Structure 1
């Protein structure tokens, strides 16, 4: 075992003129004792032998070294304890039922962004949230469109055999696959081994088409699932006028959308969580915000600093009661919501 090169005092520490009982030891002696004990794995008996003193004095040396800052001990909680604390704080801050934190997002790499890596990180946490929902065969699971849910659906989730999976919004006329709600419904249904139910309608039909769509039996069948839903899985959109990626039917030139800070299921809301309408939104084929407020388990999935206000306002409106996010986004929300 390595030993300090510190020379042993000829008369021992206890025999020195220093007031050992009062703890008035020189800093060099405190350092020597602490170095042997904490970094060289020496026992207190070893340190006492090296310094020519008693174990009782070594104990006082080590205590004094800590008191004077020569020894600093850090207790680092394991990742799961830290995550649990953040999740609990965020649950209270947003008045939610549960927050599920995923592992930190991997570094995207050259030419990629967080969007390209978020699905792999979020999917296990989404799986835990769906498991906790306790869905049974015949229960209805609603899924929203959007890039986040689309990316999550590229990975394994949890088996929910017999669960009916249905979209929350039309969108079969959208060019991007993550706004093709039937495609997302198919992906999620495959991942959970559920039964997909497709909505063959645009999100925002014209005035002439809208009433005929509502009277179509295949569309009515899906719309009638919405109020029966046991669970909803949804993304949270960033403020619409700051987004580069948004469904084609959203009129980004609408003056009313200036007050919108986010959306769920293509229904927009302001900073207080109040609904924000836009020209033509009365024809929107999408689950109503009021319906979401009555679904027993509503799981929002969102990451990114650009969505902090969107998440806070959505929780304030009561549009979701659970949240799946990453530690960086969770910390940013806490910085905004917890008193300084």
Structure 2
């Protein structure tokens, strides 16, 4: 066994060559090589290159029941992990979108915008339709970011874009109900039941600069109500508490966006989020089973596993 193992692993000889030189059958060479591994003559070690964190990814998947975790090194920039997360998300999308998907994307996410900006255009269509899953109309100076997010994703994947012609947050329930009754808005919402994948960011209770500038952020009074109810973050303006349970409030009735129940019914739910300021929200999302795939930074991965 030792002789055959050295010939195969150290000298790089093929099994047929070993069999000929030692005057034994090739099946016997194969059996002895397998046995050499079983008894410890041959041991396999995997040396991870710098910047690869498959050990953390495996641990996150096992701990939180994720289908997949992607962990990226942000170079110690815990205050701004957006560029690194965007690059990692772009690679994930390029390698896992293979055709036929109907993808939903949340509108007001700088991280998702960084992802689509980093994507390389596919030579053939890999997505059928991409649709907004939360209202994208807002301040004209900022709205172009939401439009650009969907447009660039469609251009990179060959998808047909479906835009939501409404804001994400309305001032009253009656205003929201009036817009939802519009056939154009209803046609977009009908696509949500056909989603095979959704791509979202994870928001902390305080709105991101992009969301605040869009005019779709909650008023301070609404945030106070949610905070008192235990909310720690949101996905698509659907808020949840520290255990990942949806926080029911009057705010829900003023949102034009995919509901928590609709989101959970999508087979592949991908979130791109990281940084210390998002830790409580990311941990809650994992606890509540909101997502199946997490793309995050190495420091946040370690924080999650340390809890």
Equivalence for 1:63: none
Pairwise CA distance, 1:280: 3.7
Summarize the Cα distance change of 1:172–1:91 in structure 2 as closer, same or farther, 3 Å threshold.
same
Write out aligned runs for 1:44-59 (5 A).
Answer: none
- 1:292-319 deviation digits (Å, cap 9, x = unpaired): 1110100000110111221111122221
Deviation of 1:179 after TM superposition, in Å, equals 8.6
Task: Report the 3-state secondary structure (helix = DSSP H, G, I; strand = E; otherwise coil) of the residue aligned with 1:105.
Answer: coil
The answer for the alignment partner of 1:77 in structure 2 is 47
8 Å Cα contact 1:142/1:168 also seen in 2: yes
Aligned length: 253
When structure 1 is superposed on structure 2, of 177-186 and 257-266 the one drifting more is 177-186
The higher-RCO structure (CA 8 Å, 6+ apart) is: 2
- RMSD over aligned Cα, in angstroms? 2.8
Q: Which whole-Å CA distance do the structure 2 matches of 1:301 and 1:223 have between them?
A: 23
Q: Which secondary structure does the structure 2 equivalent of 1:190 belong to?
A: helix
Instruction: Report the counterpart of residue 282 of structure 2 in structure 1.
Output: 311
- Report the Cα offset of residue 232 of structure 1: 0.4
State whether structure 2 residue 157 is matched by structure 1 residue 195: no
Matched, 1:94 2:60: no
1:105 and 2:74 correspond: yes
Q: Residues 189 and 335 (structure 1 numbering): CA distance in 2 closer, same or farther, change over 3 Å?
A: same
Does residue 1:154 correspond to 2:117, yes or no?
A: yes
Counterpart residue number, 2:132: 167
Q: Which runs of 4+ in 1 moved over 6 A?
A: none
SS at match of 1:272: coil
Superposition pairs of residues 1-340 of structure 1, within 5 angstroms: 77-79=47-49, 83-102=53-72, 104-106=73-75, 114=80, 118-119=82-83, 121-129=85-93, 131-132=95-96, 134-136=98-100, 139-145=101-107, 146-157=109-120, 159=122, 160-174=125-139, 177=142, 180-205=145-170, 206-240=172-206, 246-247=211-212, 248=215, 249-254=217-222, 255-258=224-227, 259-336=230-307
Larger radius of gyration: 1
Unmatched 5+ residue regions in structure 2?
Answer: 1-44
